[in-house]
Amino acid sequence: MKTPLIASGLILAAGMASADTPVLTIYTYDSFTSDWGPGPAVEAAFEETCGCDLQFVGAGDGASLLARLRLEGDSTDADIVLGLDTNLIAAARETGLFADHGVDASNLTLPVAWQDDQFLPFDWGYFAFIHDTDMQNVPTSFTELAESDARIVIQDPRSSTPGLGLLMWVKYVYGDAAEAVWEALADNIVTVTPGWSEAYGLFLEGEADMVLSYTTSPAYHLIAEEDDTRTAALFDAGHYLQIEVAAMVEGSDHADLARDFLAFMLTPAFQSVIPTTNWMYPAALPASDLPEGFDTLIQPQPGLIFTPEEAAALRDEALEEWRAALSQ
Amino acid sequence: MARSAQPVGISAWAGAAVAALVLTVIAVPLGAVMLRADASSGLGPADWAAVRFTVGQAFLSALFSVGLAIPVARALARRNFRGRSALIALMGAPFILPVIVAVLGLLTVFGRQGALSEILRLFGLPGVEIYGLHGVVLAHVFFNLPLAVRLILQGWLAIPVERFRLAATLGFSSRDIGRHMERPMLRNVLPGAFLVIFLICTTSFAVALTLGGGPRATTVELAIYQAFLFDFDLGRAALLGVVQVAICVIAGVFVLWVATPNAIGTGLDQPVERWDGQSRAARLLDGAFITAAALFLLLPLTAVVLRGAGAIATMPPSIWVAALRSIALSLVTASVAVGMALPMAMLIARGRARGFLETIGALSIAVSPLVIGTGLFLILRPIAGPTDMALPVTGLVNALAALPFVLRALVPAVEQAEAGYGRVALSLGLSGPNYLRHVLLPRLRRPLGFGAGLAAALSMGDLGVITLFAAPQQGTLPLEMYRLMGSYRTDDAQGAALLLLVLSLAIFWIFDRGGRVNAAV
């Protein structure tokens, strides 16, 4: 009996809001909008100045976000899509659903140069293998990892963003030799999970010595749990980057408001929320403004990344190599 | 004879209407996804490998679940001890747990640092390695053994006590009882139980991949995820959805060909009391089976409880709100599922197009929630906003997903009631609502309670289609739990898992208890 009441209450509230203020609809991934994610703080800060009602719509992860947008096509309700990453940009651009943002992006603090008329970064991170600080002989490359008897858990690139990031990382460093590297890694891989949560859960459970995650993961344990026993392994060849972006939808009813939001996204009011809610690096905030604890994280050199077009072109081949190597 | 004893009435039409609804809710979304598809690459060798792995692991999982359930159900049917009904209820818990919680619970026993490995190491033996096909089967047995035990136990308890009394008078041994009474019952019950579990395992995705150890363990459901999310190839996703339907239909036809109609006969509805199996050896054997099953199912659950207990008081408030939402949803699901299952079960019991109907009833577990959800999304979006429909759609889809289980529980009981009392009722001029009220429903209380409880509990734990529709403020308890896990908040997630476990069990227990008139189970 409660459900219809709650639902009609929500509809009523939404209706009342839209009567006098414009509603800016942002599609994003689920964890961005949760109570403990960046969503609530970002919403409050933007609504203070915009004279609008900002509404988030959560849609699974980055890949489901893009799928949802493709399903809806031109008739989408979204004004902004926030939470795609560089591996999804090429496919997203191809839909023709996005407009140029026209926002000055000169204050970006990414470790690589960024130039894109439609997609604007809001945070980023390095992929890395997380391990306990008491682990012996921590590998410094994929080949060392393959030679060691360390047990690792990774994510499936077909259903998980970090999994796809790892695929690209190995491809970037080893090129045509990637398949051989995967074959050598096969006996280190305890299992492949559908998503990040399962893999990280298995690692915390002691099923593996290392898990694929981000260099910022130890910051969570340190800051939120006061646990300094987790750290990330530094690989000499550099670490692959994940850059998360937002873009405004072509034909949005609130184009000016959407552009205002994208500009707001690169200000400290938005950026300073990111580190301890999304546990990633903010895309436009100097390192000196990061919270205490982030200075303890490893600093990979260099940050590696394919352009969206390269990533799209390499993806299927890299996946086939991965599958062939690990299916034996 | 009994089949024609009751005239085809409203209930038959209702049954046919439900069957049509089920077909529509599955076929139309599949069609909608296909229509929306652009050029599709069709099915490649990797997809066929996924089909082979899916069917293979599902077959083994169902075989072991049902095979192990027989001695456990038999032991539970002939023993009476303190806490027996609590044990039976508790043992059902794995079936309703979210996958990741159950897997982490299993690892506390079978993992690298699990109890079993620790014990083996004490004796200088290597620890166990759970990852591989055996791990997948082990986890599926963990999930489905309780269901198999319950379904088979229902069959045992449906053998009229008069039969056992007669058997005792005739001096039947346990073996004689097995041959003349139990085996025909098993022949009737096992194929259906096997089919249901086989189909559940064919849609497995996270368990198979996580414990399977790598891309070898790719199931059709994962191939659908890949087609949809990675390649955005809707045509292939829908084709794979059709493959799932085909697997279900083939398995359904095969199982119905093996199954025989119930030939047990009826008695006077009294609690089962057994005179056989009282020897020391039989008692020990039964005790061993019950203990082994209880340990296997309850140890991992205990781990879930112990971990969650510390966090449950400090969870974010959104979890409690989500829990309320989940309870409301599960009540709706239970009533819709039972409302659909009863007329359908009556129609099936009449023997009209039985195989066809049973297969339709089973379809809804075999078809990917992702494909159905996407199809419904495409159909409903032009009509109303997805968030407005999140809970109604989830309720309907959950009810459909629970339908096969409720049917499994209801059909044998309806068949028996009709076979035993249909003619008497006819001779007394009882028909329509009176027949339903005075003859059928009193005899269906137990399976109805069981079915409603199962539907409600399944709905509590199911992630299902809500992910496609829900707004951030509309999450159900399992969805919130996954959100917590996805944000490093393992402790809170474990608290949420415990809450989910407790609520699911409580709701199942209340329904099931309400259905047990004579407290024999």
B46 against A241, higher pLDDT: A241
Whether A197 and A310 share a structural domain: yes
**How many domains are there within chain A?**
2
Cβ of A33 and B472 within 8 Å?
A: yes
Provide the chain A residues 217-256 that lie in CB contact (below 8 A) with chain B: 217, 220-221, 224
Cβ of B104 and A7 within 8 Å?
A: no
What are the angstrom distances between the C-alpha of A119 and each of A98, A141, A245? 9, 32, 6
In this structure, what token pair is assigned to residue A106? Answer: 């000169």
B276 Rama class: left (phi>0) / alpha (psi -120 to 50) / beta: beta
Could you read off the pLDDT tens digit of each residue along chain A, which spans 328 residues?
Answer: 333 444 444 444 444 444 578 999 999 988 898 888 899 999 999 999 999 999 998 877 888 889 889 888 888 989 999 999 999 999 999 999 999 999 999 999 999 999 999 999 999 999 999 999 999 999 999 999 999 999 999 999 988 889 999 999 999 999 999 999 999 999 999 999 988 988 999 999 889 999 999 999 999 999 999 999 999 999 999 999 999 999 999 989 999 999 999 999 999 999 999 999 999 999 999 999 999 999 999 999 999 999 999 999 999 999 999 999 998 7
Whether A65 and A18 share a structural domain: yes
Q: For A3, which of B225, B391, B486 is closest by C-beta distance?
A: B391
CATH code of the domain in which A182 resides: 3.40.190.10
* Ranges A44-58, B180-194, B419-433, most confident: A44-58
Tens-digit pLDDT profile for residues B98-152: 777 888 889 988 988 888 888 888 888 887 888 989 999 999 999 899 889 988 8
Whether A15 and A109 share a structural domain: yes
Expressed as residue numbers, the domain containing A167 is 126-240+296-326
Per domain, the residue ranges of chain B are 1-36+310-521
B-chain residues within 8 Å CB-CB of A35? Answer: 316, 318
B-chain residues within 8 Å CB-CB of A64? Answer: 229, 467-468
Contact indicator for B331, B456 with CB cutoff of 8 Å? yes
The b-or-e profile of B170-208 (16+ CB within 10 A means b, else e) is eebebeebeeebbeebbbbbbbbbbbbbbbbbbbbbbbb
- The pLDDT-based confidence of B482 (bands split at 50, 70, 90) is confident
Q: Which CATH number fits domain B1-36+310-521: 3.90.550.10, 1.10.3720.10, 3.40.50.12780, 2.40.50.220?
A: 1.10.3720.10
Q: For A158, which of B230, B377, B489 is closest by C-beta distance?
A: B230
**Cα–Cα nearest to B72, from B230, B378, B365, B290:** B290
Whether A156 and A269 share a structural domain: no
**Cα–Cα nearest to B200, from B65, B327, B22, B71:** B65
* Interface test with chain B among A85, A130, A205, A216, by most B beta carbons within 10 Å: A205
**pLDDT above 70: residue B345:** yes
Q: What residues are paired with A81 via a beta bridge?
A: A27, A247
What are the two backbone dihedrals, phi and then psi, of residue B318, each rounded to the nearest 5 degrees? -60, -25
Whether A77 and A8 share a structural domain: yes
Tens-digit pLDDT profile for residues B296-305: 988 998 988 9
| A126 membership: H or E segment, kind and range | strand A120-132
Whether A138 and A107 share a structural domain: no
Whether A104 and A248 share a structural domain: yes
- Establish, for the pair of chains A and B, how many residue pairs have beta carbons separated by less than 8 Å: 156
- Give the length of chain B: 521
CB contact, 8 Å: A13 with chain B? no
- Return the HEC string of A72-98: HHHHCCCCEEEEEEHHHHHHHHHCCCE
Q: For B325, which of A3, A30, A196 is closest by C-beta distance?
A: A3
Tens-digit pLDDT profile for residues B67-104: 999 999 989 888 888 888 788 878 777 877 777 788 88
Q: For A37, which of B229, B328, B487 is closest by C-beta distance?
A: B487
Whether A254 and A233 share a structural domain: no
Whether A6 and A79 share a structural domain: yes
What are the two backbone dihedrals, phi and then psi, of residue A26, each rounded to the nearest 5 degrees? -120, 120
Cβ of A224 and B215 within 8 Å?
A: no
Cβ of A326 and B214 within 8 Å?
A: yes
A-chain residues within 8 Å CB-CB of B210? Answer: 191, 193-194, 198, 202
Whether A130 and A107 share a structural domain: no
CB contact, 8 Å: A159 with chain B? yes
End-to-end C-alpha distance for chain A, whole angstroms = 54
Cβ of B107 and A217 within 8 Å?
A: no
CB contact, 8 Å: A169 with chain B? no
Q: For A71, which of B111, B377, B471 is closest by C-beta distance?
A: B377
Q: How far is A102 from chain B (nearest CA, A)?
A: 29
Whether A28 and A90 share a structural domain: yes
Tens-digit pLDDT profile for residues B231-264: 888 888 888 988 988 888 888 888 777 765 554 4
**Cα–Cα nearest to B74, from B157, B171, B198, B191:** B157
Q: How far is B296 from chain A (nearest CA, A)?
A: 19
Cβ of B206 and A57 within 8 Å?
A: no
Contact indicator for B329, B482 with CB cutoff of 8 Å? no
CB contact, 8 Å: A31 with chain B? yes
Which residue type occupies A9? Answer: G
Cβ of A3 and B222 within 8 Å?
A: no
Q: For B111, which of A6, A207, A326 is closest by C-beta distance?
A: A207
In this structure, what token pair is assigned to residue A265? Answer: 């996204």
